[in-house]
Amino acid sequence: MMYFPEAGHWETVVPGKVGATESGLEKAVAYHVSHESPWHRDLEKQLLEGNFEPPPLNEVIGPVAPRGGPAGMILKGGRQVASWGDVDRADFTFSVAKSCLAMIAGLLHQDGLLPDIDKPVRELIDDGGFDSDQNALVTWRHLMEQTSEWEGELFGKPDFVDRNRDLNAKPGEFGDKGALRPLEAPGTFWEYNDVRVNRLSLSLLRLAKRNLPELFKERILDPIGGSSLWRWHGYRNSTVIVDDTPLTSVPGGTHWGGGLQIPTTDLARLGLLALNKGAWGGAQLIGEDWYDAQETPCSLNQTYGLLWWLNTDRKLYPAAPESSVFMLGAGSNIVWIDRPMELVVVARWIDKQRVNGFVAEIMKAFGKEK
């Protein structure tokens, strides 16, 4: 039976009772610890010097703090099988925040505020951001699938800083990151672009007419027993006026500082919520159909859904089952969910090049080696 932990508590289970070997899990944990992210512990230094983009476009405009070391949790059927590192430390989690934005969009969808994600955003949002010929046909789906080709500047960051950015491509395969290129029609070109995701976040804020972290806390994290340690920071210049009220738009990552700062334990709870397609205990917090939508592959990138990563044809991580889905953030921060295995794995600050090896060790520990 699926277990849903109460706030501040987690039931543990010995590996042998859930089909895993203790030695195998110890080996997986050791693999992670020995392959820590090469990123600076000083995250501000990493942002400024980590080749995101050259000055002045790399200016940090949101809060940032030093990161911790490797940490993680493994859940089987909701119960904790293993944990390591400081799982209560609230660390920035980079683009895992994008998947959280998708959950918020799901709440607005079921509330009737976002009835059709295939409609142009400008039909609901009238703030000048979708008036141009290039942006007029951008839909909510385009923004969530990263196919919008939205053009503009937001909070001092122009969209072109992330043009030619494909996280699965070889460096330079589609041109240099940040180089201007002719834009395509919305919905016809896939590109991982943080400015455009921030444009989505601002649009969701205008729909909700309240700060998105408050909505996230009230409707998602509090009901699943989340901690009081997490924060979702905006930028110093991302306050907007909505119905005469100042509200802060939050980014879908920590590219320029800000973003979601959260403990590993809370990420594990979000992973468990996803494992159960939005259900927690007897409550359906986010519609199951929304999780199906989030996990439907984009036609232009089969490993991406609505701000969620997919393992279609096992292209993303060959060692993981094709049924696996992921919340992924740079650094790397990983929330891995596999429903047939009733598995949730959180890994913080693992070398990006070693994630598949870590996944392979977990699969071996559960006797599921591919």
Show the tokens assigned to 256.
Answer: 């320029």
**Closest CA relative to residue 36, chosen from 68, 66, 74:** 68
Show the tokens assigned to 286.
Answer: 């986010």
In a domain, 360, yes or no: no
pLDDT in tens, 95-153: 999 999 999 999 999 999 999 999 999 999 999 999 999 999 999 999 999 999 999 99
pLDDT of residue 165: 65
pLDDT of residue 169: 44
Q: Report the DSSP pairing between strands 279-280 and 79-84.
A: unpaired
pLDDT of residue 51: 73
d(CA 280, CA 274): 9
CATH of the domain at 199: 3.40.710.10
In a domain, 338, yes or no: no
pLDDT of residue 185: 97
How many domains does the chain contain in total?
A: 1
In a domain, 226, yes or no: yes
Sign of CA dihedral 25, 28, 34, 38: negative
In a domain, 336, yes or no: no
**Closest CA relative to residue 360, chosen from 320, 303, 308:** 320
pLDDT of residue 177: 62
Show the tokens assigned to 80.
Answer: 């904790």
In a domain, 241, yes or no: yes
In a domain, 346, yes or no: no
**Which three-class secondary structure string do you get for 104-127?**
HHHHHHHCCCCCCCCCEHHHCCCC
Domain span including residue 61: 1-10+38-314
Which residue ranges of the chain lie beneath pLDDT 50?
Answer: 167, 169-172
pLDDT of residue 171: 43
In a domain, 33, yes or no: no
